[in-house]
Structure 1
Amino acid sequence: MRTARLHFAALSLAMGLPLASLAAPYGIGSALPAFSLEDQHGKPVSVQPDTRLVIFAADKAASDLANEVLGNEKEGVLERLQAVYLADISGMPALVTRMFALPAMRGLPFPIGLAREAGVLADLPRQKGAVSVIRLGDGKVSRVDHAQDATQLKTLLGLR
């Protein structure tokens, strides 16, 4: 198995592919690395030492769900929850991002840290069509849950 991983790593490097797929997703006890993304307004978004929740949307269905739930809350919901909302938009064509997605996101009353490059958030836990809610304690992952509908997400965020 180790030899196969080494061969895959060498092939990935030779082809210029990201090595993120070799790493396991962050799990319980993992420390999230320092990173900074830009939100839909070009402002920096990052996980801070006092961040308690990371809300992560890895695909359009998850993003739509998170936007619906957070959009129905009072302004400042992320600050009250000590949360950051991150979305992987790396698979979205640049033209679609620029002409449709960003203008729509700019109307939302909360910041979304946008990963425009594949691999930046590749190691965050995910399930297709579900919002990942990653609880942090002392900068380390203490729990990971996935919400597939608004009721589940509200419950996980403590918004019920």
Structure 2
Amino acid sequence: MRLAHLRLTALSLALALPLGALAAPLIAGSSLPPLSLEDQHGKAVSVPAGTRVIVFAADKAASDLANEVLGNEKPGVLERLQAVYVADISGMPSLVTKMFALPAMRALPFPIGLARESAVLADLPRQKAAVTVIRLADGKVQGMDHAKDTAQLKQMLGLN
């Protein structure tokens, strides 16, 4: 009985190790992993060289906050900030995505790279109901902050 338990434990660890090795959270000095997403219009979204900021919304509250702040700026705000906005919509039911979320997002004057599978953005740090702002230089993470309200997000993005 004990030998069978040890074998099962060893097998579980062996299977879990490769999965854990794939997901390395971003820290200062890390290279941003390549992202291949589509926006709300079905156009490809990537992180071009020279990108200085990643705005990441991991849940609806964070997305609402980012949309409010960016939506109140003049068109072209992401380009001026040298920023890319990405959102994890993997937890959203597909019917809700198609019927409500995507039509609402299409009305926004900026692209949002949408992750329909959680693994795509799993390495990005997140806090519940907060927008993650990742500062980059030459494709490497310089720092990260989490904004929980419009004043914090505006300050982090230099929109004051």
| TM-score (normalizing by structure 1) | 0.89
Q: Which residue of 2 aligns with 1:150?
A: 150
- State the shift of 1:53 in Å: 0.1
Determine if the alignment matches structure 1 residue 10 to structure 2 residue 15: yes
SS at match of 1:119: helix
SS of 1:145's partner is strand
Change (3 A) 1:9 1:107: farther
From the two aligned structures, give the one with the greater helix fraction. Answer: 2
Q: Match for residue 91 of structure 2?
A: 91
Please say if residues 20 and 119 of structure 1, whose CA atoms lie closer than 8 Å, have aligned partners that are also in contact. no
Taking the aligned partners of 1:6 and 1:154, their CA distance within structure 2 comes to 48
User: Unmatched 5+ residue regions in structure 1?
Assistant: 14-18
Moved more, 22-31 or 149-158: 22-31
Task: Provide the identity percentage.
Answer: 72
Question: 3-state DSSP class of the match of 2:118?
Answer: coil
Normalising to structure 2: TM-score of the pair? 0.89
- Report how many aligned residue pairs link the two structures: 152
Q: Which runs of 5+ in 2 are unaligned?
A: 1-8
Which residue number corresponds to residue 5 of structure 2?
A: none
Aligned position for 2:115: 115
Whichever residue aligns with residue 118 of structure 2, its letter is A
Decide which structure has the larger Cα Rg and report it.
Answer: 2
Residue 33 of structure 2 aligns with which residue? 33
Give CA-to-partner distance per residue, 1:11-35, whole Å, 9 cap, x none: 598xxxxx36963310100001212
Instruction: Check 1:22–1:152 CA distance in 2 against 1; reply closer, same or farther (3 A cut).
Output: same
Q: 1:108 to 1:142 in 2, by over 3 A?
A: same
Structure 1 residue runs of 4 or more that deviate by more than 2 Å after TM superposition: 4-9, 19-24
User: Post-superposition shift, 1:67?
Assistant: 0.2
For residue 152 of structure 1, give the secondary structure of its aligned residue in structure 2: helix
Counterpart Cα distance in 1 of 2:112 and 2:121:
13
